[in-house]
Amino acid sequence: MYWRRHGTSHYHRARLIKFRYWPQPAAPRLKHRGLLLNQGLGLVLSRLATSIKLCNSPCFTAQKVRRALRRIFLALCLTQILGGCGEDNEAIKTQGIKALNDWFLASASDNPPSCHGFGLVKFYDASCADMYQHAAKIEPESRTITSSRLLKCFGQGAQELCGEFVEIWLNAMDTRGNAIQEGAVLKRDDGVFRLYWYRSDALFTTLAKRAESVNDDNNERALENKQAELEAVYAKIVQQQPALYQFVMCTDASVSSSKLVGKPVNPQNISATDMASRAQQCPENFCLALVGKRIAPLCD
């Protein structure tokens, strides 16, 4: 206990009052996920009440009221700011799992679910119908979550997109009793999760076969285009030099340096005499192929 002079007016200037120091409890620390409203506001209010008790009515001035109100206002602002980023990771993952479960249920119904537009653009090898049709082939009761995690970005290279993602992997059984692994990624926009990407063992197989078929079609189409180009060039040189008609086109022959009979020639420079001389080196399997824009005599 000690004495102190209090006040600034002439009345208080010579007035001495007793002042007892009351130790205040330590302020609670901020938790990892934000400050609780009751703790922050309660701390400020308790200090305000203590200052009121320690002072007589003359010492509780308007300045002290404004100072106390300012502390309350700052505490409320801090609580509001920290409260917005206090969402728990497990709660976010739970929201994503629930959204995926709803998507699974809709995939097995007569009302097919929708998919995230950006996911369909970034991973265009599978349509939304591909995904929910393959998901419908899984026994719902057999699904077991093996892992789930939050992602800031998903995809690689040109397929990468950043945002709020949750990635979920599951073990399941299809309707035939085969073990299946499923993977799903959901993206959250405006607080709502939507299916962004879905794959399963069966869907991976379907997409691989589809890609092989597309490659085969492209190769076949390329051969057809090349053959058509050769036929056009052949028709042109035969029209210019009818004697070249005795030399047939190569249909299925593959061009290699070991099969070349001399150097390839430009169509405008080809001559029947030159080709007849080269054909003597390969009298049975001599044919003409197209390499780029030039004609290549081959011994196939």
Q: What is the pLDDT of residue 181?
A: 96
> According to DSSP H, which parts of the chain are helical?
10-13, 37-54, 62-84, 89-107, 117-122, 128-135, 201-240, 272-279
User: Rounded mean pLDDT of 188-208?
Assistant: 94
| pLDDT at site 263 | 86
| Contacts of 268 by beta carbon, 8 Å cutoff, 6+ apart | none
Model pLDDT for residues 249-268, shown as the tens digit of each residue: 776 656 777 788 888 888 88
Instruction: Give the pLDDT confidence score for residue 135 in this predicted structure.
Output: 95
Task: Give the amino acid at 27.
Answer: A
32 beta partners: none
Could you tell me the pLDDT band of residue 18, with boundaries at 50, 70 and 90? very low
User: Going by DSSP bridges, is the β-strand pair 144-154/161-173 parallel, antiparallel, or unpaired?
Assistant: antiparallel
| pLDDT given at position 6 | 47
38-42 long-range Cβ contacts below 8 angstroms, 24+ apart: 40/75, 40/76, 40/78, 40/79, 41/72, 41/75, 41/76, 41/79
Question: pLDDT tens, 37-89?
Answer: 445 555 545 555 555 555 554 544 556 556 666 666 665 555 555 544 557 99
Q: Has residue 287 got a pLDDT over 90?
A: no
pLDDT at 174 over 60: yes
pLDDT at 212 over 50: yes
Task: State the pLDDT at residue 225.
Answer: 74
Asked whether residue 8 carries a pLDDT value surpassing 80, the answer given is: no
Query: How far is residue 132's CA from residue 105's CA, in Å, rounded to a whole number?
Result: 10
Q: Rounded mean pLDDT of the chain? A: 77
User: What pLDDT is recorded for position 34?
Assistant: 42
pTM of this prediction exceeds 0.85: no
User: Please, are residues 3 and 45 in contact by the beta-carbon 8 Å criterion?
Assistant: no
Sign (positive/negative) of CA torsion 254, 259, 261, 262? Answer: positive
d(CA 63, CA 58): 12
Q: Per-residue confidence at 28, pLDDT binned at 50, 70, 90? A: very low
Lowest mean pLDDT among 109-113, 165-169, 190-194: 109-113
> In whole angstroms, what is the distance from residue 205 CA to residue 200 CA?
9
Rounded Cα–Cα distance for residues 50 and 31 (Å): 25
**Amino acid, single-letter form, for residue 185:** V
Write down the pLDDT at residue 132: 94
pLDDT of the residue at 194? 96
Give the pairing type, strands 286-291 and 248-249: parallel
pLDDT at 30: 39
User: Of 208, 205, 295, which Cα lies nearest the Cα of 248?
Assistant: 295
CATH 3.10.450 placement within the chain: 89-208
**pLDDT class for 17, splitting at 50, 70, 90?**
very low
Q: Are 169 and 182 in contact (CB under 8 A)?
A: yes
Res 76: pLDDT: 59
Does residue 105 or residue 235 have the better pLDDT?
105
Give the CA distances from residue 237 to residues 184, 232, 246, 286, 295, in Å, rounded to whole numbers and listed in that order: 59, 9, 12, 17, 10
pLDDT recorded at residue 15: 47
Per-residue pLDDT, averaged over 258-285, amounts to 85
**pLDDT recorded at residue 142:** 95
The whole-angstrom separation of Cα 102 and Cα 39 is 38
Read off the DSSP letter of residue 124: T
Cβ neighbours for 17, distance < 8 A, ≥ 6 positions apart: 3, 4, 6, 56
Q: Distance between CA 246 and CA 286 in Å, rounded?
A: 10
Q: Can you name the residues that pair with 194 across neighbouring β-strands?
A: 187
Instruction: For the domain covering 89-208, report its CATH number.
Output: 3.10.450
Bigger pLDDT: 28 vs 159: 159
pLDDT at 19 over 50: no
Closest CA to 175 of 133, 229, 127: 133
